[in-house]
C-alpha cells in the first residue's frame, strides 16, 4: 500500500504514537464534494475560537479508480485552501474510511472531529449506514461535531394551509385503505375475514393520529366498503351473503368513528396545552425582560422583539408624548385612524374588530387604570402558528405587561424629577438662609457705622471714629469673602476652575493667608512649623491662599478665644502635607465626611456666622490640584485638617 503525505509536520508523523494531548486539536475530513470547502472554513473558525490547532485529512480509498482521478483536482484544491487557512494537511490510504479516520485521530492526539451531516434519504441508511454514524460509533473519547452542509434558505418554507392539509389527509386516508386492503387480499385465505377487521382499525387509528377527525371518518367508511367489496364473499360486489357481516360492518364503522373522535379530542387537547405553554413562556420571557428595562426606549424594543418572536408577527409600539400619540412609521390611512381611536377611546381597533376593520394591523391600547400610555400594533405573518382571534388573549396580556412597564418608567422619571426638584429647593433654601444672614449682618454693621459717621456732631472722638471705620472695613472684608466664596463655589461646580500653577514657598503661602486675618488673630497664638528645606510645589498661589484662609477662619470660629492655632508642613516624599489644628470641641466622628458638603454647618457660637461653603470650596480647589483634604479629631481635643499637595514628577 502506497501512502502519500503532504505538508506533514513532525508531530503528525506516523512513527510512533503522539504525546498525550494537552490542548484542543481538531480534525476535519474532506473529499471531492463541493461541500468540503464549507467544512474547512467552519473548522477554521471553530479552531480560532478555541485557540486550537487543526488538521485537514483526506482518506484515499483503495480501488477508487476512475472516480478518484475525476475528484483528485478538487481534493487538492480543498487541501491547498485548508493549508492557506493555517491547517496541517495530510492524505492517507485505507480500505475503511471511518477506521482510517479514527486510527489517525488516536495516533495524533486529536480531540475533536468535524464531519458533515449526511444528505442521503433516510431509506438508504437501512441499506448502507452513513459515514457519520460509523465515526461516532468508533470515536470513543473523541468528540464528533456534525455540521450542516446545506446552504441556508433565505426564505422560510411557507406552511401549508389547513385546507391543503385536509385534502392531503383525505388522499393519504385513501392510500391507507388501499394498503390495508392489499394486505387483506394477501392473507384472507389464511385468516378469517372477521379478524382482518383489525387491519382496517389500525388504518383508522393511524389516520386519526396523523390526519385528524375528518380523514379518519373517511378512512372508517372506506374501510367498511373495501372490506365488503374485496374481502367478504361474494367478492368484488357489495352484496353480503351472510347477514352476520352486517354487524361486523357496523362495529367496524362505529369503533372507527369512536376511536377517531377520541384521538382527535386528545390531539386537540394536546395542541391546546402546547399553545398555552407557548403563551405562558412568551409572557414569562416578556415580563422578565421588561423588569430589567429601565427606560421607555428599552421597553419598546423589548416589547417589539418578544411579541414579534412569540407570534411571528410585525409589531409596532407607539408611545404617547405630551398627551399625543407619536406615529412615526409609515402606515395605511386606516391604520393611523385605528391607532388614534385605540389611544383616545381605550378600545381595540383595526383588523378583526368592528372599528376600522379594513386596517392591516390590530391596534391594542396600552392602558393602566384610566390612562392610555400608547398603542401596540400587530400584523400576524403568514407562517404564524396563531390565528388572530386565538392570539387576542395573549396579546391583551402582553399589552398589559407593556403598559405597566411604561407606567413604571414614567413613575421613575417623575420620582427622579421630584428628587431633583427637592434637592434644588433644599439648595435654594440653604442659599437663601445663608444669604439672608451672612449678607444682612455685615450690611447692618456697615450701615450703622456709616450712619454714625454721617451724623457726626462732634461728640465722637477720633479714637471712636477710627474704631467705627475699622469695624466697617472688617465687615466689608467679611462681605467680600462671602461673595467670593459664592463665586468660587459656582466655578467649582461648573468645572471652570482654571489653575495658574507656579513654584510656591509654603512659608510664603502661610504668610499670605495670615495677613488678611491679622486683626481677627489678635489675642491668638499662631504656632508655625515649616522645615527650611521643604521643596517648592507647583500650585495656584491665590487659590491655595484661599484654602488656608478658610481653614484658619474655621479655627477662629469654632475654638475658644485665646486658644492657640497650629500650622505645620511636612515633606512626605511624593507630596507635601499642610496641617491646621485648633483647640475647639472637634467634630462628631459621624460628621467628619459631611463637613465638606455644600451648606453643611455645625452649630456655631453666637455671632460667628458662616455660609457652609468654605470647606466645600477647599475640597474643590484641592481636587483641581490633584490633591486631597481630610479632617480628623485630635486626641487631646480639637480638629485637625490635613491638606495634601502633590509634588510634580513624584509617584504617589
Give tens-digit pLDDT for 497-552: 677 889 999 999 999 989 888 877 877 888 999 998 889 998 888 888 888 988 99
* CB proximity list for 27: less than 8 A, separation 6 or greater: 54, 55, 56, 57, 101, 104, 105, 108, 110, 112, 113, 114
Which of 12-16, 133-137, 261-265, 559-563 is least confident?
12-16
Asked, as a colleague might, if the bond just before 234 is cis with ω within 30 of 0, I would say: yes
What would the mean pLDDT of 209-228 be, rounded to a whole number?
82
Is the pLDDT reported for residue 630 higher than 50?
yes
Q: pLDDT at position 252, please?
A: 77
More confident residue, 131 or 583: 583
Residue 272 is predicted with a pLDDT of: 80
Look at residue 186 in the predicted model and tell me its pLDDT.
Answer: 82
Average pLDDT of the residues in 256-269: 82
In the predicted model, what is the mean pLDDT of residues 95-100?
84
Mean pLDDT of the chain: 78
The pLDDT of residue 409 is 87
- CATH fold, domain 497-646, is Heat Shock Protein 90 (3.30.565)
Largest CA distance in the chain: 156
State pLDDT tens for residues 14-43: 444 444 445 788 999 887 777 788 888 888
List the one residue out of 541, 466, 552, 549 whose CA is nearest residue 508: 541
| Region of poorest pLDDT, from 161-165, 173-177, 608-612 | 608-612
Query: Does 49 or 13 have the greater pLDDT score?
Result: 49
Geometric angle at alpha carbon 544, from 543 and 547, rounded to 5°: 95
- H or E, element range at 315: strand 313-321
Q: What is the pLDDT of residue 292?
A: 86
Residue, of 608 and 179, whose pLDDT is higher:
179
Which has the minimum average pLDDT: 82-91, 178-187, 474-483?
474-483
The pLDDT, as a whole number, for residue 14 is 40
Per-residue pLDDT tens digits for 455-507: 766 666 777 777 778 778 877 877 776 676 666 666 665 666 677 889 999 99
As a dihedral over the C-alpha atoms of residue 393, residue 399, residue 400, residue 404, rounded to 10 degrees, the angle is: 170
Is there a contact between 59 and 100 (Cβ–Cβ < 8 Å)?
yes
The architecture of the domain spanning 10-147 is 3-Layer(aba) Sandwich (3.40)
The mean per-residue pLDDT over the stretch 601-608 comes to 56
pLDDT at 430: 62
pLDDT at 579: 94
Residues of the chain with CATH 3.40.50.620: 10-147
Outline which parts of the chain fall under CATH 3.30.565.10: 497-646
Which of 113-127, 135-149, 622-636 has the least mean pLDDT? 113-127
Instruction: Map grid coordinates 479655627 to a residue.
Output: 555
293-411 belongs to which CATH class? alpha beta
Q: What is the model's pLDDT at position 437?
A: 58
pLDDT exceeds 60 at position 400: yes
Residue 156: its pLDDT value, please?
A: 47
Report helix, strand or coil for 575.
strand
Spatial distance between the Cα atoms of 593 and 584, rounded to a whole number of angstroms: 18
Q: Structure pTM?
A: 0.47
Chain region(s) in the chain for CATH 3.30.450.40: 293-411
Q: pLDDT tens across 548-571, in order?
A: 988 998 888 888 888 999 999 999
Q: Tell me what pLDDT residue 397 has.
A: 86
More confidently predicted of 76 and 643? 643
Phi, psi of 373 (to 5 degrees): -95, -15
The region of weakest confidence among 427-431, 563-567, 583-587, 617-621 is 427-431
**What's residue 386's pLDDT?**
57
Mean pLDDT of 614-634: 86
The average pLDDT across 53-68 equals 71
Question: Which one, of 528, 546, 564, lies nearest residue 622 by Cα?
Answer: 546
Tell me what pLDDT residue 359 has.
85
Amino acid at each position: 500500500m502506497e501512502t502519500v503525505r503532504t505538508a506533514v509536520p513532525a508531530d503528525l508523523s506516523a512513527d510512533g504514537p503522539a504525546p498525550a494531548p494537552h490542548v484542543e486539536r481538531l480534525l476535519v475530513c474532506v473529499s471531492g464534494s463541493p461541500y468540503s470547502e464549507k467544512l474547512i472554513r467552519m473548522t477554521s473558525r471553530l479552531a480560532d475560537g478555541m485557540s486550537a490547532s487543526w488538521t485537514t485529512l483526506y482518506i484515499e480509498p483503495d480501488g477508487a479508480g476512475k472516480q478518484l482521478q475525476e475528484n483528485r483536482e478538487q481534493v487538492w484544491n480543498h487541501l491547498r485552501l485548508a493549508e492557506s487557512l493555517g491547517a496541517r494537511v495530510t492524505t492517507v490510504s485505507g480500505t475503511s474510511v471511518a477506521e482510517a479516520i479514527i486510527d489517525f485521530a488516536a495516533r495524533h492526539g486529536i480531540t475533536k472531529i468535524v464531519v458533515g451531516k449526511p444528505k442521503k434519504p433516510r431509506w438508504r441508511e437501512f441499506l448502507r449506514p452513513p459515514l457519520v454514524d460509523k465515526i461516532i460509533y468508533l470515536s470513543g473519547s473523541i468528540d464528533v461535531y456534525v455540521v450542516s452542509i446545506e446552504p441556508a434558505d433565505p426564505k422560510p418554507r411557507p406552511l401549508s394551509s389547513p385546507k391543503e392539509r385536509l385534502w392531503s389527509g383525505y388522499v393519504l386516508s385513501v392510500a391507507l385503505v388501499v394498503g390495508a386492503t392489499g394486505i387483506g387480499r394477501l392473507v384472507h385465505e389464511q385468516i378469517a375475514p372477521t379478524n382482518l377487521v383489525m387491519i382496517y382499525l389500525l388504518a383508522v387509528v393511524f389516520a386519526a393520529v396523523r390526519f385528524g377527525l375528518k380523514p379518519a371518518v373517511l378512512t372508517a367508511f372506506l374501510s367498511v366498503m373495501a372490506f365488503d367489496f374485496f374481502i367478504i364473499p361474494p367478492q368484488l360486489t357489495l352484496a353480503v351473503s351472510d347477514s352476520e357481516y352486517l354487524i361486523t360492518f357496523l362495529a367496524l364503522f362505529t369503533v372507527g368513528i369512536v376511536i377517531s373522535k377520541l384521538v382527535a379530542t386528545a390531539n386537540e387537547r394536546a395542541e391546546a396545552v402546547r399553545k398555552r405553554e407557548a403563551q405562558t413562556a412568551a409572557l414569562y420571557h416578556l415580563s422578565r425582560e421588561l423588569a430589567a428595562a429601565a427606560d421607555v426606549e428599552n421597553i419598546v424594543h423589548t416589547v417589539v422583539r418578544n411579541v414579534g418572536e412569540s407570534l411571528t408577527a410585525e409589531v409596532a409600539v407607539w408611545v404617547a408624548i405630551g398627551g399625543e400619540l407619536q406615529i412615526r412609521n409609515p402606515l395605511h390611512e386606516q391604520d393611523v385612524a385605528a391607532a388614534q381611536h385605540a389611544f383616545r377611546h381605550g378600545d381595540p381597533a383595526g383588523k378583526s374588530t368592528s372599528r376600522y376593520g379594513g386596517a392591516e394591523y390590530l391596534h391594542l391600547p396600552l392602558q393602566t387604570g384610566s390612562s392610555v400610555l400608547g398603542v401596540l400594533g400587530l400584523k400576524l405573518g403568514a407562517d404564524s402558528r396563531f390565528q388572530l382571534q386565538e392570539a387576542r388573549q395573549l396579546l391583551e396580556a402582553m399589552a398589559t405587561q407593556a403598559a405597566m412597564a411604561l407606567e413604571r418608567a414614567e413613575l421613575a422619571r417623575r420620582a427622579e424629577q421630584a428628587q431633583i426638584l427637592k434637592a434644588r429647593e433644599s439648595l435654594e433654601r440653604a442659599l437663601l438662609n445663608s444669604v439672608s444672614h451672612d449678607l444682612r449682618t455685615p450690611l447692618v454693621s456697615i450701615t450703622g457705622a456709616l450712619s454714625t459717621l454721617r451724623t457726626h456732631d462732634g461728640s465722637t472722638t477720633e479714637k471712636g471714629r477710627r474704631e467705627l471705620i475699622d469695624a466697617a472695613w472688617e465687615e466689608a472684608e467679611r462681605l467680600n469673602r462671602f461673595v467670593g466664596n459664592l463665586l468660587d463655589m459656582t466655578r467649582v461646580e461648573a468645572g471652570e476652575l482654571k489653575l495658574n500653577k507656579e513654584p510656591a514657598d509654603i512659608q510664603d503661602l502661610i504668610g499670605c493667608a495670615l495677613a488678611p486675618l491679622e486683626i481677627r488673630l489678635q489675642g491668638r497664638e499662631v504656632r508655625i512649623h515649616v522645615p527650611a528645606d521643604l521643596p517648592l510645589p507647583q500650585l495656584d498661589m491665590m487659590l491655595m491662599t484661599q484654602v488656608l484662609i478658610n481653614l484658619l477662619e474655621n479655627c477662629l470660629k469654632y475654638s475658644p478665644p485665646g486658644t492657640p492655632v497650629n500650622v505645620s508642613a511636612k515633606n512626605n516624599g511624593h507630596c507635601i502635607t499642610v496641617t491646621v489644628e485648633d483647640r475647639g470641641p472637634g467634630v462628631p466622628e459621624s460628621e467628619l465626611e459631611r463637613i465638606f458638603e455644600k451648606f453643611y454647618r455645625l452649630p456655631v457660637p453666637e455671632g460667628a456666622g458662616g455660609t457652609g461653603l468654605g470647606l466645600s470650596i477647599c475640597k474643590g480647589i484641592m481636587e483641581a490640584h490633584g490633591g486631597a483634604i481630610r479632617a480628623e479629631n485630635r486626641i487631646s481635643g480639637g480638629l485637625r485638617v490635613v491638606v495634601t499637595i502633590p509634588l510634580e514628577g513624584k509617584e504617589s
